[in-house]
Structure 1
Amino acid sequence: MAGDLLTAEALAAGYGPVPVLHDVDLRVPPGTIAAVIGANGAGKTTLLRTLSGMLRPTAGRILLDGRDLRGTPVEQLVRRGVAHVPEGRGVIGELTVEENLRLGALWRRDRSDAARALDEVYQLFEPLASRRRHLGHQLSGGERQMLALGRALVGRPRLLLLDEPSLGLAPRVVAQTMALLRQLRDDTGLTVLLVEQNVRSALAVADQGIVMSLGRVALAAPAARLRDDADLRHAYLGF
């Protein structure tokens, strides 16, 4: 479809001789949130790792704005606007909050805009501003999630690949995280591909739901349809 920011066509990937993804097709228009949902072992994290260049596909194509990403080094994907926040968040505990955030802007040539992006993150995540000299391991789980998201955002990505942001967080923090994603989509046009076990929370903010099963896309539909159609929920989501 013309105008999609991210497209995967017949994508396959795995680990060594073990295949995980099989013939995956997906399309994510710009300025939308797509929630990838499904059971454990469905291939959701492998999908994000493949899209972000951490795992090389064995077949198929990945397109960003219609340009094939095959063979593109991870650092070049970052420069082209792809940010990946993996499960577990990846905060470096021995560095301060500010040092962690500055890592996200190391590649930026426009230093003045990088400084503005850092200020914007502090405005967006006020608890980080008061803890900028604290080490990463001194933060709460919610604060580490903020820091991981903030580090991605200082690079001003166009596409955010976000893996299990609610993992281990209190319901209040989960709600705040989901509301933030919606705010970023609405205010900045950020495109988000969100892998999330908390199906209800994900579908509440998503524009599109992508249901994965055994490494394949079982269903792609508007999130509102997945939320509201009891038959679809029972058939594909189990509730």
Structure 2
Amino acid sequence: MTALLRVEGLTAGYGGVPVLHDVDLAVPEGTICAVLGANGAGKTTLLRTLSGMVRPDRGRILLDGSDLRGLPVEQLIRRGLAHVPEGRGVIDELTVEENLWLGGLFRADRRALRGPLREAYELFPALYARRRHAGHQLSGGERQMLALARALVAKPRLMLLDEPSLGLAPLVVAQIMALLRRLRDDGGLTVLLVEQNVRSALSVADSAVVMAQGRVVAADSAGALVGDDALRHAYLGF
């Protein structure tokens, strides 16, 4: 399968202190790749670097063969990248619908947003019922749904998703993972998924990479990683 995202020798950090060290990974188009590892392994920094929030010191970030380094956020979005950060990033003062409109802010065809909005409401009927409510009035699960829906309004090819299960009830987590599977299977969406809930992540992922101290220490199919007892015990805690 052709890799939609390819990362080569990526090194990045904060204030001159490296967090990522020569990270390599490839995510085939139309698949879900889970990024696993303990707290402090560099998972969130990886997503922040891919989305332009952290400037890499060296290495390449290729989306469909084009290097993304140095591009402004609006160009990244127009090239098909969406980032849903940890904490969901919902703007509390805005309504659900206003948050969704923001998802199309940098689309080249903003006049054609009604279609993506309608699709978002079809995916998340609960958001349609709450479309006039402000972000602060939503439950944790609804806020996560809104963050996902807002990213989807931009019609991304690649979604970077950071800890979508954080603080949510198991039933809501199961619904979100089922949605990711559906978006992959029906819409061809490619997802790079950072997730502390290892079992949930591996239940939907096609492949996975394991990070430790800013380095990739293993990369394989999700099934192979589940079956590697030594690796699971050493890095994944189960």
Q: TM-score, normalised by structure 1?
A: 0.97
How many Å separate the matches in 1 of 2:227 and 2:175? Answer: 23
Give the counterpart letter for 1:232 in structure 2. L
Matched with 1:3 is: 2
Write the deviation string for residues 62-86 of structure 1: whole angstroms up to 9, x where unpaired.
1111111122112100110000000
How many Å separate the matches in 2 of 1:125 and 1:79? Answer: 24
Contact 2:77 2:107 (C-alpha < 8 Å) held by counterparts:
no
Matched with 2:65 is: 66
Matched with 2:214 is: 215
Matched with 2:157 is: 158
How many Å separate the matches in 2 of 1:49 and 1:108? Answer: 21
Matched with 2:80 is: 81
Give the counterpart letter for 1:209 in structure 2. A
Q: Which moved more, 1:32-41 or 1:222-231?
A: 222-231
Give the counterpart letter for 2:159 in structure 1. L
Write the deviation string for residues 165-195 of structure 1: whole angstroms up to 9, x where unpaired.
0000000000100110000000000000000
State how 1:7-86 maps to structure 2 within 5 Å: 7-86=6-85
Give the counterpart letter for 1:99 in structure 2. E
How many Å separate the matches in 2 of 1:23 and 1:109? Answer: 34
1:119 aligns with 2:144: no
How many Å separate the matches in 2 of 1:236 and 1:163? Answer: 19
1:105 aligns with 2:104: yes
Query: Shift of the alpha carbon at 1:112?
Result: 5.4
Q: Which secondary structure state, in structure 2, belongs to the residue aligned with residue 7 of structure 1?
A: strand
Q: Which secondary structure state, in structure 2, belongs to the residue aligned with residue 194 of structure 1?
A: strand
Write the deviation string for residues 145-168 of structure 1: whole angstroms up to 9, x where unpaired.
000000000000000000000000
How many Å separate the matches in 2 of 1:106 and 1:62? Answer: 24
Give the counterpart letter for 1:224 in structure 2. G
Query: Shift of the alpha carbon at 1:113?
Result: 3.5
Q: Which moved more, 1:211-220 or 1:106-115?
A: 106-115
Matched with 2:166 is: 167
How many Å separate the matches in 1 of 2:156 and 2:203? Answer: 23
Q: Which secondary structure state, in structure 2, belongs to the residue aligned with residue 58 of structure 1?
A: strand
Q: Which secondary structure state, in structure 2, belongs to the residue aligned with residue 156 of structure 1?
A: coil
Give the counterpart letter for 2:12 in structure 1. A
Tell me how many residue pairs correspond in the alignment. Answer: 238
Give the counterpart letter for 1:34 in structure 2. C
User: Unpaired segments of 5 or more residues in structure 1?
Assistant: none
Paired-residue identity, %: 74
Write the deviation string for residues 56-114 of structure 1: whole angstroms up to 9, x where unpaired.
00011111111111221121001100000000000000000000000001222434542
Contact 2:95 2:135 (C-alpha < 8 Å) held by counterparts:
yes
User: Unpaired segments of 5 or more residues in structure 2?
Assistant: none
1:146 aligns with 2:149: no
Matched with 2:189 is: 190
Measured on the aligned residues, the alpha-carbon RMSD in Å equals: 1.1
Matched with 1:129 is: 128
Matched with 1:177 is: 176
Contact 2:10 2:24 (C-alpha < 8 Å) held by counterparts:
yes
How many Å separate the matches in 2 of 1:111 and 1:86? Answer: 23
Q: Which moved more, 1:26-35 or 1:69-78?
A: 69-78
Q: Which moved more, 1:130-139 or 1:99-108?
A: 99-108
Give the counterpart letter for 2:29 in structure 1. P
Give the counterpart letter for 2:88 in structure 1. R
How many Å separate the matches in 2 of 1:111 and 1:166? Answer: 30
